[in-house]
Structure 1
Amino acid sequence: MVEKTFTITHEAGLHARPATALVNAVNSFTSDVNLEANGRTVNLKSIMGVMSLGISKGVQVKVSANGSDEEAALEAVERAIKAEELGV
């Protein structure tokens, strides 16, 4: 399992458009990819799950991946976060 923590810096937080970009970034991977924030963990392949977290600016999120392509999945998430200017 691999994991990385990011701080959301976008003024609007993790809203619908970037959330969709994150989900799309990991859907092609076979690994389980989870997003943890505000004491809850959801499947990052589920847009409803991601949106249910209500992640606002300043919140730290942890992304974890577990499976045969876990490293590539985590790299895809990091690229999507940077492309959407969501955080660091």
Structure 2
Amino acid sequence: MILRRSHPNDKLIVVSREITVQNELGLHARPAAEFVRVANGFRAEITLIKDEQRFSASSLIDVLRANLDRGATAVLEARGADAEAAITRLEKLLIEFRKRKED
């Protein structure tokens, strides 16, 4: 986990964590849509970084373009006052996906 402030007088917090997609079918349409819905519930700007490309976690098209198949790793980055909460919730969601029976 990396937690840093961009400027001493700024309340912008940046949190990033490496994630690994572990559910059998990866982040396909249904889980990707839920991932985006949850990401949009936070004020933080949330980004997926895979192979040096950045994808908005608030865009279903971007999340699908990230091609997060089973075993894929990416960095989940959030910028904003609720960045820590956003990353924690999205990590938990990825774990929930792994535990669910695939559709």
**TM-score, normalised by the number of residues in structure 1:** 0.88
Moved over 3 A (4+): none
Aligned equivalents of 2:52 and 2:82: distance in 1? 26
Identify the residue that residue 83 of structure 1 maps to in structure 2: 96
Aligned equivalents of 1:70 and 1:31: distance in 2? 5
**TM-score, normalised by the number of residues in structure 2:** 0.76
Matched residues, percent identical? 28
1:40 aligned to which of 49, 53, 69: 53
Identify the residue that residue 9 of structure 1 maps to in structure 2: 22
One-letter amino acid of the structure 1 residue matched with residue 45 of structure 2: D
Aligned equivalents of 1:38 and 1:15: distance in 2? 18
Larger radius of gyration: 2
Higher relative CO (Cα under 8 Å, sequence separation at least 6) belongs to 1
Aligned length: 86
Unaligned runs of 5+ in 2: 1-13
Unaligned runs of 5+ in 1: none
